Structure 1
Amino acid sequence: MARKYIDCREFPSASKCSVALSADSESELLEAAAQHAVSVHKHTDSPELRAQLKTMFHDGTPPVEAPRPA
């Protein structure tokens, strides 16, 4: 299975979060991303949040340089 990642730098926010998370499985990444979203960004953990997070996953590993927002 290919490594997956999610990168907060893609989503500018007031907190200027620069955390990128990666894992060998989608389920492990989803759990870590949900915990980060709740504890750092003060989101409420819900099926909707987890579904939204999954749409932000990428294959591979996070780039060293900050990605540019779409």
Structure 2
Amino acid sequence: MGRKYIDCREFPSDINCTVALSADSESELLEAAVGHAVQAHKHSDTPELREQLKSMFHDGTPPLGGPAAAA
């Protein structure tokens, strides 16, 4: 499995979050993303949140210039 990432810059939020996380395994990325979602965005750690986050994973690494740079 190659590197995966999730990027908060793709999703508007009230805190204008610019965090992007990446990891070599989906399980490691999921745990980091859940921790961030709970702490920074005040979500609850639920199975639904975990499925939603997994659906937002991308292959590779986050673009330096943000999501628009990847387009």
Structure 1-normalised TM-score? 0.94
- For residue 14 of structure 1, report the CA deviation from its aligned partner: 1.1
Structure 2's unaligned 5+ residue stretches are none
Map of 1:6 onto structure 2: 6
Say which structure is richer in helix. Answer: 2
Question: Per the alignment, in what secondary structure is the counterpart of residue 22 of structure 1?
Answer: strand
Structure 1's unaligned 5+ residue stretches are none
Map of 1:19 onto structure 2: 19
- For residue 66 of structure 1, report the CA deviation from its aligned partner: 1.5
Correspondences of 1:28-47 after superposition (within 5 Å): 28-47=28-47
CA distance in 2, matches of 1:65, 1:12: 16
- 2:41 counterpart of 1:53: no
Q: Which amino acid aligns with 1:3?
A: R
After superposition, the CA RMSD in angstroms is 0.6
Question: Per the alignment, in what secondary structure is the counterpart of residue 28 of structure 2?
Answer: helix
Question: Per the alignment, in what secondary structure is the counterpart of residue 40 of structure 1?
Answer: helix
Percent identity between the aligned chains? Answer: 75
Runs of 4+ off more than 4 Å? none
